[in-house]
């Protein structure tokens, strides 16, 4: 979460509202932040959004990344930082409830995806997007967001 916060801070306002490779920069950030919200939760019930940290889902195109983002749509850096803070608080609760046994269990009965799969998948997803966006910063001659060693 710290690396994502640093990335959001590193993107200047004029770049935040611009497009990179045909996608609004803020939307690329929203994409990976949103899926942290979707995947890190206490219960996995299809369609249940009650544990969401307060996403901006109602403002987004229904088919994420399959539709063009309306030009008037924008989530500010401040809104994104606030959203990420809420997700961080939620994920702390999720991780405090995690143990070795739970990591190996399926998310719910009849579903092969396990809690460890969620963890590994989201690490991979976040790191890809952080790298992608750091590359964008470098391409614009800006310093990239600092990496955090755990």
> Can you give the residue ranges of every domain in the chain?
2-139
Classify residue 22 as left (phi > 0), alpha (psi -120 to 50) or beta.
left
C-beta contacts of 43-51 below 8 A and 24+ residues apart: 44/107, 44/108, 44/111, 45/108, 51/90
Nearest to 42 by CA among 109, 122, 115: 115
Q: Which residue reads 């995947």 in tokens?
A: 39
**pLDDT (tens digit per residue) in 85-116:** 999 999 999 999 999 999 999 988 777 889 99
Compute the distance between CA of residue 19 and CA of residue 127 in angstroms, rounded to an integer.
20
Given a cut of 70, is residue 61 above it in pLDDT? no
CATH number of 2-139: 1.20.120
Given a cut of 90, is residue 11 above it in pLDDT? yes
Question: pTM higher than 0.85, yes or no?
Answer: yes
Residue 116 is predicted with a pLDDT of: 94
């Amino acid at each position: 979460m710290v690396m994502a916060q640093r990335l959001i801070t590193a993107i200047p306002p004029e770049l935040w509202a611009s497009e990179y490779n045909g996608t609004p920069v803020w939307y690329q950030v929203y994409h990976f932040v949103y899926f942290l919200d979707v995947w890190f939760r206490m219960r996995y019930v299809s369609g249940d959004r009650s544990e969401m940290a307060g996403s901006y889902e109602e403002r987004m195109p229904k088919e994420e990344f399959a539709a063009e983002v309306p030009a008037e749509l924008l989530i500010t850096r401040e809104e994104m930082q606030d959203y990420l803070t809420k997700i961080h608080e939620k994920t702390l609760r999720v991780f405090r409830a995690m143990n070795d046994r739970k990591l190996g269990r399926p998310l719910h009965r009849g579903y092969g995806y396990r809690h460890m799969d969620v963890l590994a998948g989201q690490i991979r997803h976040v790191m890809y997007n952080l790298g992608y966006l750091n590359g964008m910063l470098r391409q614009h001659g800006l310093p990239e967001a600092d990496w955090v060693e755990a």
